[in-house]
Amino acid sequence: MSLKQKAVPEAVTSVPSYCYNCVSGPDLMTVRVKDGIATAIAPNHDAIGIHPAHGRPCVKAYGLVQKTYNPDRVLTPMKRTNPKKGRHEDPGFVAISWDEALDAVAAKLKDIEATGKLDENSMPRVAATFGHGGTPASYMGTFPAFLAAWGAIDFSFGSGQGVKCVHSEHLYGEFWHRAFTVCADTVQTRLILSFGTNVEVSGGPCAVRRHADARIRGIKRIQIEPHLSPTGACSAEWVPIRPKTDAAFMLAMVHVLLHEARRDQLDLAFLKDRTASPYLVGPDGWYLRDPDSGKPLVWDEVSERAVPHDSPGIRPALDGTFEVRNVAAHGPDDERIAYDHVAARSAFQVMGDTMRPYTPEWAAEVCDVPAGTIRHVATEFLDNACIGETIVVGGRTLPFRPVAITLGKTVNNGWGAFECCWARTMLACLVGALEVPGGTLGTTVRLNRPHENRLASVKPGEDGFMANKLNATGKGKWADKPTGRNAHKPLIPIVGDSSWAQALGPTHLAWMFLKDAPKEWAKPNPPDLWFAFRTNPAISFWDTDQIIENMAKMPFVVAFAYTMDETNHMADILLPDATDLESTQIIRVGGTKFVEQHWEHAGIIIRQPAVEPQGEARDFTWITTEICRRAGLLEAYNTAINRGAALVPLKREHYDYSLAIDQVHDVETIWDAVCKAATHELTDGADVKDLAWLKTNGLFVVPFEKKDWYLLPTMEDQGLRFEMPYQERLLKAGIELGRRLHEHDIHWWDTQLKEYQALPTWHDVPHHWLKSTRDLGGHPDDYPFWAVTTKSMPYTTGNNAGIPLMNEVAQNLRGHGSVVMNAGAAKKLGIKAGDWVEVRSPISFTRGKAALVQGCRPDTIVVQGQYAHWKTPYAKDLNFPSLNKVIPLSMELTDATGSGADLVRVSVTKVDGPLAEDAR
């Protein structure tokens, strides 16, 4: 077999491909190739009318030419010669042959197989980390087939993705409306309330295009966030809210809709039929149930009695308190309660009572936003909801509710995120704008299957809701032994235990427990082998100094390496993968997906070697096949590919493109089979394409019904209700979890247990950060600023920080590589534009140049991204600040879903200049 992939013939000058360097993709592009050299990136005009951005990638994709020819690339396999690991240890990497590198990895795998795949704590001895929201999967070829062939892998060690990403929304969104990510139905909505969603920067070309078109149509967007982002700058209104008080703002909106608007201004039909609003709640907080069937009861206004919610011909009451007789309730740990005679409130009534104190006047104090502003935002939301209007989509009449609310990543993770996610979803329910044209929509599923079809993931479950698999918390059912080092299964019921669950657990705990585990918890050993690809936790996580220390404890690290970076500095073996323009992969495209990818087509796209790999870099699929062959895993690996680990099953009832399992297949053979199987599946065998066809044409799509952007028809067809407003199931899970943890004498999760509420109530969310400052030995008065972060258009997290073109274009962006602060606040501190400042928290400090603006709250500073590199070539010379140095890794700043926020209390002082390289 030839070691190198064949490049495309020289005559080809424009090679279709995809970019999936950030979660807003995949987007389409073409690569201009002259004399075998990639010279430019350009749109793929064949996708006009198919791709929502008409075949255009964003500025980041234009950096891929420099990425390919970066003189600092790792271009041979390497091994470490200095056994000591640490930031200040020179790894002493030396070039080795592919044979030596692959044999070393295979030998380690065989070794582990011989000792047992689990260690003495029953933790997988092999761990793997992939960064940036799952996008590395679109660059790792058949590596998932290796992971499947191996079996026990610990995905516990996160990078910044997950816990500091849009985490709570992933969990609650998917629970409530199969919405791992959420966006507005931008193409049809009239009003978007954006709480810190910087969508013009973070949403990729599809979002930018959709929002630009919407502005021409006359949409209004109100941007609610502490500093004026580019999204705020091109919105109709900017509301500078105090950080981490968004829940109070939204609870006050709920108050206005419930207590200031007329009832008939709400979508009463939606609330009665598609939510649990009429379900009766008893005095102990549990749904009242029919004693025979166990079904939740509602008050029927026709017969004036309590009846099961799904009884035909009833008219359920929305508001009210009712006297009911002979009813049951199901408490925690299967406790059965019987009531002879009891007063019951509808869930809607309980919500009304709970939301009564949250007036706009109350929220004004908390949020530092005038009550009149909150009231007018709530009123505009209601006035634009068009309740009663319908629209026909794909032959089906659906409600038309053109109002949407989106939440950015600091709003929907960490403390306060549950309240925000609930309030956002409830506000949509109050006006019937959830999962309908114009409203707030989910885009994709990750915790439920099938991943490629969120509608098909909806199945009837308990109590008239869709099925959701929580991790068991009942007595005798709770998993007291974690299956991974971040303990997602014992600690986080709502994350479940599907393939993505572990990576969405509290992944910082895995790192923290390597240093110190609570005494009631078995201190985990580091994994014997850790694979890292396209991730840089040493830069992207919190308290990066501590992460680095813990990373140095990993005994054998295999890093796929593009350039040297802060994480692969700790590696034992570096494997250079052929990058974006040099290797082959086929992925799905279209349908609906994060962030604003709503297509009227669905199908597959290809990434292909537009140019020969540089140096000794190799296609990921070739590398994987060789690891498997040498480790004795070939048959299991080929079997996994046949089962679908490389995209789609190669064999199904109606077709068979499967590979012989005892043979080594080359890269093209594998993707040719995948291409045929995928196109067979898409067309029921009517139009089967091979790899050569896809290489020429770039994409293969079939129509995707626009009706399938919306979940409501699926809910209606199955007679299901959204699990709103009352969270009986979560309340129960929280009580049971508390009992289990306390039975094991575990009390360090008690604050998190408080988040399990049937209905959210406000608690002083910002206080968590003030308390943390104090607990770390600081006095809150000495750290008077909130420091927050944001994305930058030309950068995908830290992924392309080493590409000079990105820094060059970013010079045009306000605040690039700086500490952005309010000009008035700076003046009081004697800080002028361009001065060096030091940003300090109790744990550490970072330095950057001050950029002074008016569009930032005086109590807030902003530091973009994660660019405090000390190893990544080029990036390390930029001397940029990063909040990740100063945000603690903290149990107390972890919410019940296991996430935290990129937020910290800091001081800002003027200093003479930058830090020396080794002090950064």
Ligand X SMILES: Nc1nc2c(c(=O)[nH]1)N[C@H]1C(S)=C(S)[C@@H](COP(=O)(O)OP(=O)(O)OC[C@H]3O[C@@H](n4cnc5c(=O)[nH]c(N)nc54)[C@H](O)[C@@H]3O)O[C@H]1N2
- The residues that touch ligand SF4, with contacts defined as CB under 6 A, are 19-22, 24-27, 57-58, 60-61, 204-205, 796
Q: How many CB atoms lie within 10 A of CB 841?
A: 24
Binding at 608: pick from Mo ion, ligand SF4, ligand X, none (beta carbon under 5-8 Å per type): none
Binding ligand X by CB under 6 A: which of 70, 142, 198, 822? 198
Looking at the Cβ atoms of 26 and 881, the one nearer to ligand SF4 is: 26
Backbone angles phi, psi at 592, to 5 degrees: -125, 140
Looking at the Cβ atoms of 224 and 441, the one nearer to ligand X is: 224
Q: Which helix (H) or strand (E) is 625 found in, with range?
A: helix 620-630
What are the b/e assignments for 41-53, b being 16+ CB within 10 Å?
Answer: bbbbeebeebbbb
Q: Is 201 in the site for Mo ion (CB under 5 A)?
A: no
Q: Is 672 in the site for ligand X (CB under 6 A)?
A: no
Binding at 61: pick from ligand X, ligand SF4, Mo ion, none (beta carbon under 5-8 Å per type): ligand SF4
Of all residues in this chain, which one has the CB nearest to ligand SF4 in the complex? 25
Collapsed DSSP state (helix, strand, coil) of residue 652 = strand
Between the CA atoms of 414, 416, 419 and 424, what dihedral angle is there, to the nearest 10 degrees? -80
Q: How far is the CB of 334 from ligand SF4 (least distance, A)?
A: 47
Of all residues in this chain, which one has the CB nearest to Mo ion in the complex? 165
Q: Is 798 in the site for ligand X (CB under 6 A)?
A: yes
How far apart, in whole angstroms, are the C-alpha atoms of residue 873 and residue 869?
9
Collapsed DSSP state (helix, strand, coil) of residue 195 = strand
Q: Is 870 in the site for ligand X (CB under 6 A)?
A: no
Q: How far is the CB of 798 from ligand X (least distance, A)?
A: 3
Binding at 17: pick from ligand SF4, Mo ion, ligand X, none (beta carbon under 5-8 Å per type): none
Binding at 196: pick from Mo ion, ligand X, ligand SF4, none (beta carbon under 5-8 Å per type): ligand X
How far apart, in whole angstroms, are the C-alpha atoms of residue 550 and residue 508?
11
Letter for the amino acid at 21?
N
Number of residues that bind ligand X (CB under 6 A): 62
Q: Which of residues 234-273 bind ligand X (CB under 6 A)?
A: 241, 243-244, 246
Letter for the amino acid at 245?
T
Question: Angle at CA 169, nearest 5°, toward 167 and 272?
Answer: 160
Binding ligand X by CB under 6 A: which of 131, 141, 205, 698? 131
Strand partners, 355: none
Q: How far is the CB of 165 from Mo ion (least distance, A)?
A: 3
**Residue 108 in tokens:** 């380690």
How far apart, in whole angstroms, are the C-alpha atoms of residue 881 and residue 630?
44
Q: Is the peptide bond before 725 cis (omega within 30 degrees of 0)?
A: yes
Of 683, 704, 708, 454, residue with least CA distance to 601: 704
Q: How far is the CB of 37 from ligand SF4 (least distance, A)?
A: 22
Q: How far is the CB of 292 from ligand SF4 (least distance, A)?
A: 54
Looking at the Cβ atoms of 346 and 410, the one nearer to ligand X is: 410
Looking at the Cβ atoms of 589 and 820, the one nearer to ligand SF4 is: 589
Looking at the Cβ atoms of 30 and 410, the one nearer to Mo ion is: 410
The end-to-end CA distance of the chain, in Å, is 46
825-844 footprint of ligand X as x/- string (CB under 6 A)? --------------------
**Where would I find the beta strands (DSSP E) of 131-225?**
153-154, 181-184, 191-195, 220-224
Looking at the Cβ atoms of 22 and 222, the one nearer to ligand SF4 is: 22
Collapsed DSSP state (helix, strand, coil) of residue 250 = helix
Q: Beta strand 597-607 with 585-593: parallel, antiparallel or unpaired?
A: antiparallel
Contact 810, 230 (CB under 8 A): no
Strand partners, 699: 605
> Looking at the chain, how many residues does it have?
920
Q: Is 902 in the site for ligand X (CB under 6 A)?
A: yes
Q: How far is the CB of 766 from ligand X (least distance, A)?
A: 9
Looking at the Cβ atoms of 19 and 351, the one nearer to ligand SF4 is: 19
Q: How far is the CB of 46 from ligand SF4 (least distance, A)?
A: 16
Q: How far is the CB of 779 from ligand X (least distance, A)?
A: 23
DSSP codes of every residue in 408-467: -TTTSSSTTHHHHHHHHHHHHHHTT-BSSTTSEEEEE-SSSS-TT-TGGG--B-GGGBBP
394, 702, 761, 815 from 707: Cα distances, Å: 6, 15, 36, 42
Binding ligand X by CB under 6 A: which of 70, 76, 159, 186? 159
Q: Which of residues 163-192 bind ligand X (CB under 6 A)?
A: 164-166
- Specify the stretch interacting with Mo ion by CB under 5 A; choose among 165-173, 302-310, 450-458, 756-764: 165-173
Q: How far is the CB of 139 from ligand SF4 (least distance, A)?
A: 11
Binding ligand X by CB under 6 A: which of 597, 866, 879, 899? 866
How far apart, in whole angstroms, are the C-alpha atoms of residue 365 and residue 273?
36
How far apart, in whole angstroms, are the C-alpha atoms of residue 858 and residue 842?
21
Binding at 229: pick from Mo ion, ligand SF4, ligand X, none (beta carbon under 5-8 Å per type): ligand X
Looking at the Cβ atoms of 60 and 630, the one nearer to ligand SF4 is: 60
Q: Is 165 in the site for Mo ion (CB under 5 A)?
A: yes
Q: How far is the CB of 412 from Mo ion (least distance, A)?
A: 11
525-564 footprint of ligand X as x/- string (CB under 6 A)? --------xxxxx--x-------------------xxxx-
Of 907, 889, 915, residue with least CA distance to 160: 889
Which residues are CB-contacts of 180 (< 8 A; sequence separation ≥ 6)? 170, 173, 174, 442, 443, 444, 445, 446, 447, 594
Looking at the Cβ atoms of 349 and 597, the one nearer to ligand SF4 is: 597
Q: How far is the CB of 441 from ligand SF4 (least distance, A)?
A: 19
Looking at the Cβ atoms of 80 and 164, the one nearer to Mo ion is: 164
Q: How many CB atoms lie within 10 A of CB 365?
A: 12
Contact 626, 1 (CB under 8 A): no
45, 315, 624, 634, 653 from 621: Cα distances, Å: 29, 59, 5, 13, 27
95-134 footprint of Mo ion as x/- string (CB under 5 A)? --------------------------------------x-
How far apart, in whole angstroms, are the C-alpha atoms of residue 130 and residue 124?
17
Binding at 772: pick from Mo ion, ligand SF4, ligand X, none (beta carbon under 5-8 Å per type): none
- Specify the stretch interacting with ligand X by CB under 6 A; choose among 375-383, 407-415, 508-516, 625-633: 407-415
Looking at the Cβ atoms of 614 and 797, the one nearer to Mo ion is: 797
Q: How far is the CB of 801 from ligand X (least distance, A)?
A: 7
Question: Angle at CA 815, nearest 5°, toward 811 and 817?
Answer: 70
Binding at 19: pick from ligand SF4, ligand X, Mo ion, none (beta carbon under 5-8 Å per type): ligand SF4
Q: Is 907 in the site for ligand X (CB under 6 A)?
A: no
How far apart, in whole angstroms, are the C-alpha atoms of residue 227 and residue 818?
14
Q: Which of residues 716-775 bind ligand X (CB under 6 A)?
A: none
Q: How far is the CB of 511 from ligand X (least distance, A)?
A: 12
Q: Which of residues 208-237 bind ligand X (CB under 6 A)?
A: 224-227, 229
Binding region for Mo ion (CB under 5 A):
133, 165
Binding region for ligand X (CB under 6 A):
22-24, 131-133, 159-161, 164-166, 195-199, 201-202, 224-227, 229, 241, 243-244, 246, 408-411, 533-537, 540, 560-563, 565, 577, 579, 788-791, 793, 795-799, 865-866, 872, 882-884, 902
